[in-house]
Structure 1
Amino acid sequence: MQKHKILLIAYQCGHGMGSVSQIGWEWYSRLRLDYDVTLVTHIRNRDALQKSDLGEKIIYVDTEWFAGPLYRFAKFLFPHSEHSVFLISSLDCMLFDLSAYFQLRRLKKRGIQWEVLHRVTPVTLAAPTALGLLDVPMILGPLNCGLGQPPGFRRQIRAEISALNPVRALGYLANRLIGSCRHARRILVGNPTTRDKVPAAYQPRCVYMCENGVALEDFTAAPWPYMPGSERILKLAFVGRLVAVKGLNFLIDAVAALTQRGYRVQLSVAGDGPLRAEWQARAQALGLGEQIRFYGNLSRPQVAFLLQSTHAMVLPSLRESGGAVLLEAMACARPVIALNFGGPAQVVDEQVGALLPMDDEAQIVRDLSSTLEHIIQSPQEWAEKGRVARQRIEAQYAWNVKVAAAGNLYQEIIAEGC
């Protein structure tokens, strides 16, 4: 049977290159098994893709002459603001899109055709696209954007707030002017907040699909190392950047509170960032130097092993748009604990862990410590939450499930015709 021809647009795409790049990679590496896929991506991804030996039909768009100097200029202007650097660097997405449009239009004039165009990265409506003008039925997403700021925590997340945020607003405006949503047959959105960012006239075209997924072959279910208890150590994991918005300081204080009540707790921290030294010093000052271990950045296999070696994953992030690490922990059959805002609110509930309210810092620490104490007091209940978490991942968030769902949309669109 002849395979359907899919044009996959992934500005970020590469195995092991980061969260959004991993999203692009997962779509490409899995779709190509069942479809005739042509990938369009940035030339900076070429080395990673060539190592994968999956490069039969890849179109590389070279805007590095603009992207490289732009990134270095942004780092010079904002050496301590990752968010500002990201916003400035994202201007290259627009040039990439325009360059891709002209390359693909030339190929179409030579008689090359595709049945569906699917743009999977970037994952925001603030990155407009002119590719809908190619007259190939287009799917956008899954998208995850539009998340605001949690009320009452502006001081804690000020480092994530940039004076350049109006640049993002200009991206949304350009999206409307260019007609990105108008030209899309389907718009995949990760949550209601993102759907609300879609112009009202095109919201009926929205289909819910989480932008993140889990590779079940990388994150496998494993039993708890043992049942924690009053005399047995509760092992916890935190995975994320060590920046203020991730809220690791709340978890450190919660561990200190449990320790003062006589419980034995061990926290493994995977990730790096500007606050590592400060938070290590905080742990030392609280007498937790042996209980809280900072491992720095770990590879995907190392993260999976770390999760499988612990009892629960805790992500007390104040502003988390996605939360892929929560899905990975759930795939390892680990219960998860997070705050009730943004992406975690879409995937965490009492069946798979605990979603804690966000009133103030002291309340977060109290709720974290009481929740962790409940794991020690009711380990069977929390082990069951981990089992349910794995089932939910298999049913809703595994990459094979997401790709199959996308395949159904392809069939619908192809059946609709141009």
Structure 2
Amino acid sequence: MSKTKIFVSAYACEPDHGSEIGVGWHWVLEMSKYFELWVLTRKSNQENIEQWLAKNPETNEIHFVYYDLPDKLRFWKKGMRGVRTYYNIWQLRTNKIVKQTMIENDIKIYQLLTYGNALWKASRFGMKQTFIWGPTGGVDTIPKEYSKHYTAKARFIEWARRCVVKMLPINHGFKKRCKNADLILCKSYNMQNAVPEKYRDKAKLFTDVAVDIKEKEVSKALHHSTKFLAVGKLDAWRGFDLLIEAFALALKENENITLDILGIGIDDERIHRLIQDFGVASHVNQIGEVRIDEYEEYMRDCDVVVNPALKEGAVTVSFDSMAYKKPLICVDTGGYTRYFTNDYAVVLKREGRAKLIRELKTGILKMTDELVRRQLGEKAFQEGMKYTWEDKGKEIEKLIKDLIRD
């Protein structure tokens, strides 16, 4: 029996990466077990994808289609700078590719997989087919109580985001995507509630990440101090400032703790300054960007993972903590944190800023107990076995096949 054909738009999709790029790759691999896929992604991903496929010839057949903007339309893009504008132009320019590929191969289903940002464009032709949108998000905002401590640039970004989200009820592009979608996979409750009420029956809460159990080496080394690890792009909303303040408070009660921060971003200088201002430079290390193998080594070697992000962010790292048997301290975002409870993690409510810092401090101190860490880490691993990528693939299959039947 032939597999159902699906066209997947996966701008971010590449093997051996974390974050959304790795998420896109995992989704494609899992979906290919159940469906025949045509996957549109960036041409810059082609070399790595083809090298991986050559080493893994048993992979289910996936038809990749590659496209990048011509140089004259991307000279201004560097890394993640300008990615929103580039992505939206890319969606416009690839609409003909989507149409041609779907018609030539008699594909009736279109999924916009990555980027998972509800404020960004989708293929005009794809939206007119059976349209699966997501997992998507990007409508969470940061209260002024937190953002007033940011740099001027970051404050403006958060102000602009609040304005855009407030205007969603009259945002034509957003409403059109909601109307056209046959299934909307929402990363968080806020995304689900942002969908207009008359379309909300199509919106399903569905996180985009799962636990990658395979080939994880778990370090059993004992440290003289408790090693905490925080990973993510250094954006203001990711809460590294809160973590540094909480760490400074915790150090007053226990000096046998250290923190490594992995990542780069626009908040780099502020984070460096805060480390100096709070006098924690001898205990907090701002490492910068690392390769995937270095990231894995840091995960193996740490005792505790902390994700202080105030909305959906560093989700892959959080799920990786389960695979590495590391307890997680995180802030409840109403999305991925549905998979974590205080039975095997420390999940904090995003209430007042001062209160959250105090509770972060309490969570840090709790994790200095080696027995507590080991018990929570083992429980987290056992729980994570329920949320593997294989399990996620089966969930995806059921959702799509239910949609087709309906």
Would you call these one fold, judging by a TM-score over 0.5? yes
Q: In structure 2, give the amino acid aligned to 1:14.
A: E
Matched, 1:181 2:174: no
Structure 2 counterparts to residues 379-390 of structure 1, below 5 A? 379-390=370-381
Q: State how 1:41-190 maps to structure 2 within 5 Å.
A: 41-53=41-53, 57-64=63-70, 67-69=73-75, 71=77, 85-96=82-93, 98-104=95-101, 108=103, 110=104, 112-114=105-107, 116-129=109-122, 130-132=124-126, 135=129, 137-157=130-150, 159-160=153-154, 161-162=156-157, 165=161, 172-176=171-175, 179-190=176-187
Matched, 1:248 2:245: no
Q: CA deviation at 1:390?
A: 1.9
Say whether the 8 Å CA contact 1:117–1:138 is kept in structure 2.
yes
Q: What secondary structure is seen at the aligned counterpart in 2 of 1:211?
A: coil
Contact kept, 8 Å, 1:395 with 1:401, in 2: the verdict is yes
Match of 2:221 in 1: 225
Distance in 2 of aligned mates of 1:100 and 1:415: 28
Partner residue in 1 for 2:403: 413
Output the aligned Cα RMSD: 3.3
Structure 1 residue 337, shift from structure 2 partner: 1.0
Residues in 2 aligned to 1:370 and 1:167: alpha-carbon distance in whole angstroms: 36
Structure 2 distance, partners of 1:192, 1:32, is: 28
Moved more, 205-214 or 360-369: 360-369
| Contact 1:156 1:245 (8 Å CA) reproduced | no
Native 8 Å contact 1:144 1:211 kept in 2: no
**Cα distance in 2 between the residues matched to 1:212 and 1:413:** 21
What is the rounded CA distance, in whole Å, between the counterparts of 2:110 and 2:47 in structure 1? 24
Contact 2:68 2:90 in 1 (8 A): no
How far is 1:237 from its partner? Answer: 0.8
Asked if the contact 2:186–2:192 (Cα under 8 Å) also holds between the matched residues in 1, the reply is yes
In structure 2, C-alpha distance between the alignment counterparts of 1:262 and 1:134, rounded to whole Å: 59
Matched position secondary structure for 1:20: helix
Q: Secondary structure at the match of 2:244?
A: helix
Deviates more, 1:306-315 or 1:159-168: 159-168
The answer to whether the 8 A contact 1:93-1:127 is kept is no
Sort the Cα spacing of 1:319 and 1:139 in 2 relative to 1 into closer, same or farther, 3 A.
closer
Deviation at 1:338, TM superposition (A): 1.8
| Alpha-carbon separation, structure 2, partners of 1:346 and 1:96 | 37
Q: What amino acid sits opposite 1:299 in the alignment?
A: R
How many angstroms does 1:286 deviate by?
5.4
Q: Which amino acid aligns with 1:186?
A: L
Q: Secondary structure of 1:181's partner?
A: helix
With structure 2 as the length reference, what TM-score do the two structures score?
0.83
1:181-237 alpha-carbon deviations (Å, 9 max, x no partner): 33333221122211122222221122221022332226x3736533x7xxx411111
Measured in 2, the distance between the counterparts of 1:384 and 1:154 equals 36
Asked whether 1:400 is paired with 2:390, we answer yes
* Bigger mean CA deviation after superposition, 93-102 or 232-241: 93-102
Identity score, percent: 18
The amino acid across from 1:113 in the alignment is D
| 1:210 equivalenced with 2:184 (yes/no) | no
| Other structure's SS at 1:376 match | coil
Unaligned runs of 5+ in 2: 55-60
The gaps in structure 1 that reach 5 residues or longer are: 76-81
Distance 1:127 1:329, change over 3 A: same
Question: Once the two structures are superposed, what CA deviation does each residue of 1:333-358 show, in whole Å capped at 9, x if it has no partner?
Answer: 11111223454643443122212244
Contact 1:221–1:333 (8 Å) recurs in 2: no
Provide closer, same or farther for how the CA distance between residues 406 and 264 of structure 1 changes in structure 2, counting only shifts above 3 A: same
Alpha-carbon distance in structure 2 between the residues aligned to 1:42 and 1:35: 21
DSSP 3-state at the match of 1:53? helix
2:191 aligned with 1:197, yes or no?
A: no
Q: 1:299 corresponds to which residue?
A: 291
State whether residues 187 and 207 of structure 1, in contact with CA within 8 Å, keep that contact through their aligned partners in structure 2: yes
The amino acid across from 1:100 in the alignment is: I
The CA deviation at 1:408 is 1.6
Q: Give, as a single letter, the amino acid of the residue that structure 2 aligns with 1:143.
A: T
2:359 corresponds to which letter in structure 1?
D
Alignment of 1:24-35 (within 5 A): 24-35=24-35
Q: Give the letter for the 2:393 counterpart.
A: V
For 1:43-70, what per-residue CA distance to the aligned partner results, in whole angstroms no more than 9, with x for missing partners? 3332332332369622224434575146
Contact 2:99 2:125 in 1 (8 A): no
Q: For structure 1, which segment, 336-345 or 198-207, has the greater mean C-alpha deviation from structure 2 after superposition? A: 336-345
Q: For 1:131-178, what per-residue CA distance to the aligned partner results, in whole angstroms no more than 9, with x for missing partners? A: 34554x3322111231122351121345434376467758942132xx
Structure 1 residues 121 and 299, CA, compared in 2 at 3 Å: closer, same or farther?
A: same
Inter-partner Cα distance in structure 2 for 1:323 and 1:23: 10
The Cα shift of 1:239 comes to 0.9
User: 304, 310, 330: which is aligned to 2:302?
Assistant: 310
Contact 1:337 1:348 in 2 (8 A): no
Alignment coverage as a number of residue pairs: 393
CA–CA distance in 2 between the matches of 1:150 and 1:234?
32
TM-aligned CA distance change 1:201 to 1:70, over 3 Å: farther
With over 3 angstroms needed to count, the CA separation of the structure-2 counterparts of 1:133 and 1:217, relative to structure 1, is: same
In 1, distance between residues paired with 2:323 and 2:233? 21
CA contact (8 A) 1:97 1:131 kept: no
| Displacement of 1:243 | 3.8
